[in-house]
Amino acid sequence: MTFNHFIDGQWQPADSQQSFVTINPATEQPIQSVAAGNSVDIDKAVKAARKAFDHGPWPRLSGKQRGAYLRKIADLINQRLDELARLEVTDNGKPFPEAKWDIEDTAGCFEFYAALAEQMDEQDSETIDLGEPAFTSKAIKEPVGVAGAIIPWNFPMLMAAWKVAPALAAGCTMVLKPSEVTPLTAIALAEIVEQAELPAGVLNIVTGTGPEAGQPLAEHPDVDKMAFTGSVPTGSRIMSMAANQVKNISLELGGKSPLIIFADTDIEQAVEWIMFGIFWNQGQVCSATSRVLVEESLYPQLLERLTEEAKKITIGEGNESGVLLGPLVNEAQYQKVMAAIERGQGEGAKLVCGGGRPEHLHQGYYVEPTIFTEVPEDSWIWQEEIFGPVVCVKSFTSEEQAVQLANDSRFGLAGAVMSNDLQRCDRVACALRAGIIWINCSQPTFVQAPWGGYKQSGIGRELGHWGLNNYLETKQITSYDPQQRWGWYIK
Ligand code: NAD
């Protein structure tokens, strides 16, 4: 059986009758056949979303009514928590406790935007003082219209929620194209919105590859807004496509984020956060702190403790108890990370831990936790996103040098600093050119706080009320007192 697209509230087969198969990265075995969408399927989905926006109830419901649907979706996700987490493990490879956390956050994201939708009813307009008694003016927010969303494979269901929940809260309708590498929880989301009796056409989900299904979505003239999360090259392509129609876009792209550790940091805390910053989700995290900068006097002891702990991580299939590192998502990612490790060695960096496939695992796309030192600043592995469990560690001698090394990147998604001197932490946090800064930790992410990058890491912000604004237009409505004469032409 093939899983079909969800368009206009109906399960519809691919126009081409073609399908593709998703693979379990731990076993390298097929899991499920899924409809391979193309421009015809995308056109059907956009037409359904257009009809639902222009003529359906969705944008005309009160915020409270839309919020009730979002709360129902959150409840249905919570009811299937373990099952959805297992599905994510099978499709993506991540350890089960991480997958469970993702699904809890997915439900939490729908709840958060339900609350913001409800608040929209009270904050529906802002009065503007024009300083002219004959005029009154107000600003109102309206949904952008039909939104397109294209998402990656690293947090499949959560990335869908980060776009679907605010778009629906705002009153937009949407066409979502999940990654072809991990489409299964997006299909489960379609089942959930069907069960929640969301009006037809409000959320449409088309599965397929980037070039076959993603590109026609980004290029579709009836899509008012494109929200994209993925790599810089694809983001740049989406931006060019949007530019042809001056389409509203938001982009969440890659990173090569620094973690600066000063010598007064507790060594065990430092090791914990370095590891969480790069080994969580197998390092396939856009904000992973993959460049670690350690003050010189702490460097030798820290490196020793880090290597010791990295070697102890239990690697295996995500459902096995105690596993903290699963396989990479697919063979292409495995080859990419292995090639990066080889390239690092060729560039003169010193491999001090890992670098290969774990000896006990003969099948699955596993890569050991890998640590490089003596990494040249202009090397590929210091500058480019590897998106695997590979960290580069370097020493520094002054705060100024640490900040300079940290900011020497074309990316600016995230950064982190650790020290007992909180004033120093604040100073460094302000000096780092990135959209997300952690102090004395790395990676914890909250739906209430803005998420997005500087420089080539993206445009716009998701999450919090910033995420809702992504899907809203601002309209001014200005009135003139009809009792007064304007007196320009007619005196
Ligand atoms: P990718 O760019 O290869 O693919 C992302 C999505 O774009 C997929 O759905 C894919 O099918 C689609 N796509 C590919 N080519 C396309 C095209 N020509 N037209 C339209 N759509 C196309 O990225 P990926 O490998 O899936 O994900 C990894 C990347 O995502 C990393 O660079 C990571 O840093 C980034 N990421 C960023 C964030 C963030 O919040 N900033 C979050 C997660 C992942």
For 248-260, the pLDDT digits (tens) are 999 999 999 999 9
pLDDT value, residue 238: 97
Average pLDDT over residues 224-252: 97
Is 447 a domain residue?
Answer: no
Q: Are residues 472 and 413 in the same domain?
A: no
Q: Parallel, antiparallel, or unpaired: how do β-strands 173-177 and 29-35 relate?
A: unpaired
Q: Are residues 226 and 310 in the same domain?
A: no
Q: Are residues 189 and 297 in the same domain?
A: no
Q: Are residues 273 and 238 in the same domain?
A: no
For 164-216, the pLDDT digits (tens) are 999 999 999 999 999 999 999 999 999 999 999 999 999 999 999 999 999 99
What percent of the chain lies above the pLDDT cut of 70?
100
Query: Is residue 152 within 6 Å of ligand 1 at its C-beta?
Result: yes
CA 203 to chain CA centroid, nearest Å:
19
Query: Is residue 387 within 6 Å of ligand 1 at its C-beta?
Result: yes
Is 486 a domain residue?
Answer: no
| Residue with CA at minimum distance from ligand 1 atom 42 | 286
Q: Are residues 87 and 177 in the same domain?
A: yes
- Domains identified in the chain, total number: 2
> For residues 95 and 241, what is the distance between their CA atoms, to the nearest angstrom?
36
| Residue with CA at minimum distance from ligand 1 atom 43 | 286
DSSP output for 83-112 = HHHHHHHHHH---HHHHHHHHHHHHHHHHH
| Residue with CA at minimum distance from ligand 1 atom 18 | 211
- Which structural domain range is residue 263 located in? 258-439
Could you tell me which of 68, 103, 70, 69 has the C-alpha nearest to residue 87? 103
> For residues 155 and 134, what is the distance between their CA atoms, to the nearest angstrom?
53
DSSP output for 354-421 = --S--TT--SS-----EEEES--TTSHHHHS---SSEEEEEEESSHHHHHHHHH-SSEESEEEEE-S-
Distance 152 CA to ligand 1 centre (A): 5
- Residue whose CB lies within 8 A of the most ligand 1 atoms, among 20, 42, 157, 234, for a mutation test: 234
Other CB atoms within a 10 A radius of the CB of residue 126 amount to 12
Q: Binning pLDDT at 50, 70 and 90, where does residue 124 land?
A: confident
pLDDT value, residue 187: 98
For 360-400, the pLDDT digits (tens) are 999 999 999 999 999 999 999 999 999 999 999 999 999 99
pLDDT value, residue 417: 99
Is 488 a domain residue?
Answer: no
Q: Are residues 285 and 223 in the same domain?
A: no
Q: In the structure encoding, which two tokens stand for residue 140, read together? A: 């109102």
pLDDT value, residue 34: 98
Q: Is the pLDDT of residue 123 over 90?
A: no
Query: Is residue 385 within 6 Å of ligand 1 at its C-beta?
Result: yes
> For residues 341 and 335, what is the distance between their CA atoms, to the nearest angstrom?
10
C-alpha distances (whole Å) from 410 to each of 116, 404, 452, 453 are 34, 13, 15, 11
Q: Parallel, antiparallel, or unpaired: how do β-strands 5-7 and 10-12 relate?
A: antiparallel
For 309-338, the pLDDT digits (tens) are 999 999 999 999 999 999 999 999 999 999
* CATH code assigned at 418: 3.40.309.10
pTM reported for the whole predicted model: 0.98
Helix (H, G, I), strand (E, B) or coil at 316: coil
- Residue whose CB lies within 8 A of the most ligand 1 atoms, among 151, 179, 336, for a mutation test: 179
Location of structure tokens 């399908």: 19
pLDDT value, residue 5: 98
| Angle ∠(108,188,19) on CA atoms, nearest 5 | 140
Q: Parallel, antiparallel, or unpaired: how do β-strands 29-35 and 2-3 relate?
A: parallel
Q: Are residues 221 and 327 in the same domain?
A: no
Q: Are residues 371 and 392 in the same domain?
A: yes
Distance 234 CA to ligand 1 centre (A): 6
> For residues 334 and 264, what is the distance between their CA atoms, to the nearest angstrom?
37
Distance 181 CA to ligand 1 centre (A): 11
Question: Which residues have C-beta within 8 Å of that of residue 484, sequence separation ≥ 6?
Answer: 134
pLDDT value, residue 190: 98
CA of 230, closest atom in ligand 1: 30
The arrangement of strands across the sheet holding 2-3 comes to 2-3, 29-35, 19-24
Distance 48 CA to ligand 1 centre (A): 25
pLDDT value, residue 197: 98
**Under 8 Å between Cβ of 225 and 147:** yes
Is 445 a domain residue?
Answer: no
CA atoms within 13 A on the CB side of 66: 31
Q: Are residues 280 and 237 in the same domain?
A: no
DSSP output for 54-71 = HTSSGGGS-HHHHHHHHH
Is 471 a domain residue?
Answer: yes
Q: Are residues 354 and 468 in the same domain?
A: no
For 52-111, the pLDDT digits (tens) are 999 999 999 999 999 999 999 999 999 999 999 999 999 999 999 999 999 999 999 999
Average per-residue pLDDT for the chain: 98
Q: In the structure encoding, which two tokens stand for residue 203, read together? A: 């959320």
Q: In the structure encoding, which two tokens stand for residue 94, read together? A: 């991540």
Q: Is the pLDDT of residue 268 over 90?
A: yes
* CATH code assigned at 30: 3.40.605.10
Q: Are residues 314 and 233 in the same domain?
A: no
Residue spans of beta strands (DSSP E) within 232-290: 248-252, 258-261
Q: Are residues 157 and 12 in the same domain?
A: yes
Is 444 a domain residue?
Answer: no
Residues tagged active-site: 252
Query: Is residue 253 within 6 Å of ligand 1 at its C-beta?
Result: yes
Q: Binning pLDDT at 50, 70 and 90, where does residue 156 land?
A: very high
Distance 233 CA to ligand 1 centre (A): 9
Could you tell me which of 304, 301, 289 has the C-alpha nearest to residue 392? 289
Tell me phi and psi for residue 91, to 5 degrees. Answer: -85, -35
Query: Is residue 252 within 6 Å of ligand 1 at its C-beta?
Result: yes
Is 450 a domain residue?
Answer: no
CA of 458, closest atom in ligand 1: 41
Is 490 a domain residue?
Answer: no
Q: What is the ipTM of this complex?
A: 0.96
pLDDT value, residue 406: 98
